[in-house]
A = this chain, B = another copy of it.
Amino acid sequence: GGNDSMDTCNKISKFMQKSGHECRVMGVPKTIDNDLYGTDHCPGYASAAKYVATSTMEIYHDARVYDTPMVCVLEVMGRNAGWLTASTALAAYKGAGPDLIYLPEIEFDMDKFIVNCKKIFEKSGKLIVAVSEGIRDKNGKYISEYGSDLASEKDSFGHAQLGGTAQVLADILKKELKCKTRAIEFSLLQRCAAHLASATDVEEAFTAGQKAVQCAVDGTTDHMVAYERSEKDGKYVCNYVLVNLDKVANTEKAVPREWINKEGTGLTQDYINYALPLIEGESKPPMENGLPRFAKLKKVLAKK
């Protein structure tokens, strides 16, 4: 699991030790938020990133089918860390991504946002913006909360407002750019799209789980399995190490400031280099009648 799960692991382990039960507790990381401390990246992140980047590229091409103006605001999960929203930069790296990317690591400035959007839209008649659900203004107020304020302005807009962050921004852009705008939330899809998982991620995740069980059997406790990145012959290699649960529990790892461009509207090549090896390869679920076949686990009682 994520931060909360590691905290729970840690508490259970401490409780067991205090009450004199021998119990080995190992944390197995898993979060599309990618914000766990002590690991290069988290199982699940790369698959979600691959899905978000691919879908963003597809939306980009959809937007260019017609010669009409097109404004799209994409909302990606991430309350405090912008890792998953950052993955839309992979689409931009391929020439088919958002014009602007806003992460919760950077204070959101509505005036600058509108200026940036106008500049791009006036040039091409097209605009794609990607935002983390958790972006906040300088007072720490979520942009999604602007919705209820805007609701009181109902008349000037013609209809009531409601956040979603993307919906709030799409409504503001509609007024500012005087054109139709569209908010797209990746919603649950971004965390469950098993049909487009990264083969690298799936393999690493499997190994991480295996290591955790091995370690517990061998007598280790109070640790989380973590990924450590290295290179061999210029190629990405993932190593498996252990991190003390005390260090991991309840610490959030944000996207480094130096991986975000100066204006706070995109990612640098450092992020691209970080993410590309992780999304490599396609893990295809078994198909049946043109649809994925999901494994059904049979519950078997353990022998005593």
Contacts and interface: CB of A to CB of B under 8 A. Distances in A.
Given A196-B195, A196-B196, A50 B291 contact: yes
B148 A50 contact: no
A50 to B, nearest CB: 6
Interface stretch (A21-29, A245-253, A282-290): A282-290
Nearest to A199: B290
B290 A281 contact: yes
10 contacts: A54-B292, A57-B294, A58-B194, A58-B195, A61-B194, A62-B188, A147-B160, A151-B154, A154-B160, A185-B185
Interface of A: 50, 53-55, 57-59, 61-62, 72, 90-91, 94, 96, 147-148, 151, 154, 159-162, 167, 182, 184-185, 187-189, 191-196, 198, 200, 276, 279-282, 284, 287, 289-292, 294
B57 A291 contact: yes
Contacts of A160: 147-148, 151, 154, 160-162
Nearest to A275: B290
Contact of A184 (B54, B147, B188): B188
Contacts of A162: 159-162, 167
